[in-house]
Amino acid sequence: MAKAWKKWNLEGGGLQSTNLALARGRKHRFLAYLLWPLFPAGAHAFYLAAYPRAAGFVSAGVAMLALFATGHRAAAAAVFGITLLFACYDLFWIDRRVVNLNKQLRLALSLRPGHGAPATFSGHYRDDNLDTYLEEKERERAGHSPLKIHEEAGTRQGRAPSFSEQEAHLQKQAVDRKPE
């Protein structure tokens, strides 16, 4: 089941469908470099959706074959040499192209119409007591501890509480909130 998750239909929206579409559409450096030796056919450029570049490689390949077939071996070798120089440049270009294509894909998937916060989302807030909420937000500002976990759990202020300290704090909260 290594790649079976790529076939799931999660088109209902949200992060899962976005990640699935990204996994399906992203380009891979390894495959582009694997296709590079086929540069006279423009295989790596076609894979990376650089169609004018791919057409240039194909045209040069056809010109090489035509020159070679008509007995102009020196001219065919010259065209091959120039094409090889462009192909060598592509060894450096491939990495940048893959990164840019994947960034564009992520951006396009993130900005699709209908993909955003749900219609009923109005931010994170609490209606129960505005004063308590504002006090908590004030404590979260720089220089303040967002919760009094450190004091209640008996931890040092300079580090985050451990997992067991957090569990103890949550258990204490649960006991404090229990209706009698």
Which pLDDT tens digit goes with each residue over 48-107? 999 999 999 999 999 999 999 999 999 999 999 999 999 999 999 999 999 999 999 888
One domain for residues 156 and 103? no
Q: Is the pLDDT of residue 110 over 80?
A: no
Read off the pLDDT band of 121 (50, 70, 90).
low
Would you state the pLDDT for residue 118?
Answer: 61
Task: Evaluate whether residue 71 is within a structural domain.
Answer: yes
Would you state the pLDDT for residue 163?
Answer: 77
Read off the pLDDT band of 43 (50, 70, 90).
very high
One domain for residues 148 and 83? no
Distance CA 83, CA 45 (A): 13
The count of other CB atoms within 10 Å of the CB of residue 159 is 9
Q: 0.85 exceeded by the pTM?
A: no
One domain for residues 154 and 100? no
Residue whose C-alpha is closest to residue 81's, from 120, 39, 109, 123: 39
Cα–Cα distances (Å) from 20 to 3, 7, 73, 97, 124, in that order, read 11, 9, 50, 21, 27
Domain count within the chain: 2
Domain containing residue 173: 142-177
Percent of the chain with pLDDT over 70: 64
